[in-house]
Structure 1
Amino acid sequence: MNIRKKKGVWVWGIKLLPPFYYFFLCCEMSRKMTRDDVEALALGGAILGGGGGGWYEDGKRDGFLALELGDVELLDPNQIDEEFTVITTAALGAPTQKGETKPRHFIRSVELLRGAGFDFDGIIAAENGGHNSFGGWVQGAALGLPIVDAPCDGRAHPTAMMGGMGLHREEGYVSVKAVVAEGIEVIALGTMENTSNIARMVARDVKALVALARDPITVGYALEHGAPGAISKAIDLGKKVLKVRDKDPNDIVKAALDYLGGEIVAKGRVIEKMLEAKGGFDVGVVKIREGTNVYEVSYMNEYMTLERENERIATFPDLVCTFGADGLPLTSASIKEGDKVFLTKTPKELIPIGDGNRYAEIYDPVEKALGKPMVKYLNGFLKG
């Protein structure tokens, strides 16, 4: 399959696409986002973040800002040509080190990538999350680019390699990443791993989330290796939960789990939280007590393992979530000792998962950071 394809011509600084693209963009495959969609996506994305994926409030802020800047069009990937080319945009870094990165930096990252000679027609998000589900919204509204509903992953993940959709296995593929933060702009070309490490190094050194635009691919590749439809799924999930927002917290959590097919593992209190900002990640453990049972949740931005008395209950990309006493999702960055929480899990088979999570080598840095095995619990899920 063609991974990256150039098309269209530039006239007076404006890209002219083949006529059939304009036909597609005027048909029902294009859905204009609304303020109600912003509210729903921020909430649904936060749940699918599984402890990571950014702050719910930041997602709403960027979503509403995008609607002020222009129209945000969400395209159904099954209804557009497979050669339509998209880039991935994201915020990358440790959630507790947000820094001074602003929406203008995210716009600039896309401009930087195009200025380096890379051609693209639209944007996809890297993942679902309270903030990252809105990947590309501000850039798309400001620059006139549509959002394609085929994110790299349907849940949040800690490493850029996990959002790589298996591109690191494509022989000869040259990755490109445009990284922007206050006072720095970087274009990196090379292997997926090396360019990801450079982006993470920038985030670590500036102690901030950085704006990232990367890796032009065709929609056909995203359909096969990404998580098509995952943004719409997050919106639908958020709308289900918002319908019961004014009810008892138990009803709110139940609405989310009924939609996802998950279950409550425990209702308890956070008795311990350990956090270390390490290598551009938030790494640590949360312990939750329910009666005589103590549950240990390790995290590397996202919740990665769930255990009770050393018995493994869930392993990423299973979706482990924490909900607060109000029934709303809590991230690993926001949860704190003393919080009353709902601890839940949803099997990975019930959520859209990108191919970037299906290779054993991707889990090596996670296992090293956490000191916990991952791969041996993923038999039957991983690709060879």
Structure 2
Amino acid sequence: MAYEIRREDLEPLLLGGAFFGSGGGGTIESARHLAAHFVAGDYYPADTVKVVSVDEATEGAAVMVAYLGAPEAINQATYPIGPVTAVQNVAARLASQSTKLAYVMPPESGALGFTVAVLVAAKLGLAIIDADGAGRAVPSLPMLTFAAAEIDPRPAFLVSQGGLSVELDVTPRAGSNGGPTHQRDVSAIVEQMMRPVVADPEFGQFGGLAMWVMTPADIGRATPIRGTLTRALELGRAVQAGQIGTVPEMTRYLKEHCGLAARAISEPGELVSAEVDTAGGFDVGKIRIRSGSHTYTVIYQNESLLVWDSQRAHPVVLSPDSVAYYVGGEGQSIYSNGDLVQSDGSLNPDIGKRPVTLIAWRAEAEISKPGLNLDSFVQLLNSLGYLGPYVPLDKLASIHRGDAS
């Protein structure tokens, strides 16, 4: 059922989005920086946004909107100028074809993804659809359900914060939209074209992206993962209200309210080191947590993709399964990779010696079944040094117990 998001809802929304973002989806810092300026006035005509379900999105076309690039670079943005301009370009193109743009869609679950979609909708008088393309954050476009559904990626606009607009147009080999094979290939090609663009000095490692225009008929088949914005908002509210203050309370909430069989895959430990390098629009690195004789290493490319335990002969989490940090003690409990690691590569001093626990859960079925989405995750895991197949979280746990059946 439709409802409104108000300015005061952005903090719980971005907190919940960060938790479900599997370490990525933009930083809490960047999302808060943008949210702080969400006030009705010169830039935003209103400070409320309508949220609709997939089934309610019948009044026009929708487009996915996002920031693309390195979290550290995006932290500097005050207003979502690039994403707004990209959506305006799409709206103008559709208007020339007598089609109305009525909705925006976040690409993924994440603090920044949800916040940007809300702010763009507020700026342009659009509604936001309560769904996304993965139910977690992802490093590349072919990992999203929009790509797997073979939605035509044209038009696709990438716009810098300074207003430089680039349209990416991969012409089909045959027909007006190309065949299914072409559409599966083209999302990867567009991704490969975009990364060098955002790395250009004019873009400064990030830009606003609008692509995957969907008719009401397309919206349903492209978004099997639904209710994710509401899920994040409600979890963030529960955290703010003090209903979730421990790891057991978090895993219990996820089971009872989200239907997720989440569990702690590490003992509480201390954040001990980090490595990070920013290149091509990605923050790539490792975060290590030490607990007794165990050292847990989270390997990420913006998003957490792989977790090793020094006492195990195999990974303990493989993407697309999700893993989140839960920080105990006084203060904020949810952090993304970009919030844990500072721009100089040092650890966030706000964490100190507070206990850090890794909580993991299985990916949504739609992105973990054989096909483009899962293939894209496995290819990325291969590039990070894991050369085996995807093994779901519960089966990894069975291997650890000595029962691989």
TM bracket (short chain): 0.7 to 0.9
Aligned partner letter, 1:321: A
Are the equivalent residues in 1 in contact too, given 2:14–2:110 (CA < 8 A)?
A: yes
Q: Does 1:331 align with 2:336?
A: yes
Are the equivalent residues in 1 in contact too, given 2:276–2:285 (CA < 8 A)?
A: yes
SS of match in other structure, 2:82: helix
Are the equivalent residues in 1 in contact too, given 2:271–2:289 (CA < 8 A)?
A: yes
Against the structure 1 CA distance between its residues 339 and 317, is the aligned structure 2 distance closer, same or farther, given a 3 Å change threshold? farther
Q: Which residue of the partner structure matches residue 343 of structure 1?
A: 358
1:52 deviates by 0.5
Q: Does 1:41 align with 2:41?
A: no
Q: Which residue of the partner structure matches residue 239 of structure 1?
A: 237
Q: TM-score, normalised by structure 2?
A: 0.76
Name stretches of at least 5 consecutive residues in structure 1 with no aligned partner: 1-28
SS of match in other structure, 1:109: helix
Q: Following the alignment from structure 2 to structure 1, what is the Cα–Cα distance between the partners of residues 114 and 367?
A: 14
Q: Following the alignment from structure 1 to structure 2, what is the Cα–Cα distance between the partners of residues 302 and 356?
A: 21
Q: Following the alignment from structure 1 to structure 2, what is the Cα–Cα distance between the partners of residues 231 and 294?
A: 33
Report Cα offsets for 1:159-212 as digits up to 9, x if no partner.
122225234756xx4533211113421011122222222222222223332111
Name stretches of at least 5 consecutive residues in structure 2 with no aligned partner: 171-185, 342-346, 396-405
Q: What is the count of residue pairs matched by the alignment?
A: 348
Q: Following the alignment from structure 1 to structure 2, what is the Cα–Cα distance between the partners of residues 151 and 254?
A: 23
Of the candidates 356, 360, 370, which is equivalent to residue 384 of structure 2? 370
Segments ≥4 residues shifted beyond 6 Å: 354-357
1:354 deviates by 8.9
Q: Does 1:92 align with 2:89?
A: no
Q: Which residue of the partner structure matches residue 264 of structure 1?
A: 264
- Report 1:206-355 matches (<5 A): 206-226=203-223, 227-244=225-242, 253=250, 257=254, 259=257, 260-265=260-265, 266-308=267-309, 309-325=312-328, 326=331, 328-336=333-341, 337=347, 340=354, 341-349=356-364
Q: Following the alignment from structure 1 to structure 2, what is the Cα–Cα distance between the partners of residues 356 and 278?
A: 30
Are the equivalent residues in 2 in contact too, given 1:180–1:186 (CA < 8 A)?
A: yes
- Counting aligned pairs with the same residue, the percent is 23
Aligned partner letter, 2:21: G
Report the more deviating stretch, 120-129 or 65-74. 65-74
Q: Following the alignment from structure 2 to structure 1, what is the Cα–Cα distance between the partners of residues 231 and 68?
A: 23
- Report 1:107-126 matches (<5 A): 107-117=84-94, 119=99, 120-126=101-107
Q: Following the alignment from structure 1 to structure 2, what is the Cα–Cα distance between the partners of residues 342 and 242?
A: 19
When you count strand as a share of all residues, which structure comes out higher? 1
Are the equivalent residues in 1 in contact too, given 2:33–2:75 (CA < 8 A)?
A: no
Are the equivalent residues in 1 in contact too, given 2:133–2:144 (CA < 8 A)?
A: yes
Of the candidates 203, 206, 227, which is equivalent to residue 198 of structure 2? 203
Are the equivalent residues in 1 in contact too, given 2:81–2:208 (CA < 8 A)?
A: no
Q: Following the alignment from structure 2 to structure 1, what is the Cα–Cα distance between the partners of residues 369 and 206?
A: 24
Q: Following the alignment from structure 2 to structure 1, what is the Cα–Cα distance between the partners of residues 8 and 139?
A: 28
Q: Which residue of the partner structure matches residue 401 of structure 2?
A: none
Q: Following the alignment from structure 1 to structure 2, what is the Cα–Cα distance between the partners of residues 302 and 329?
A: 14
Report the more deviating stretch, 182-191 or 249-258. 249-258
1:357 deviates by 8.0
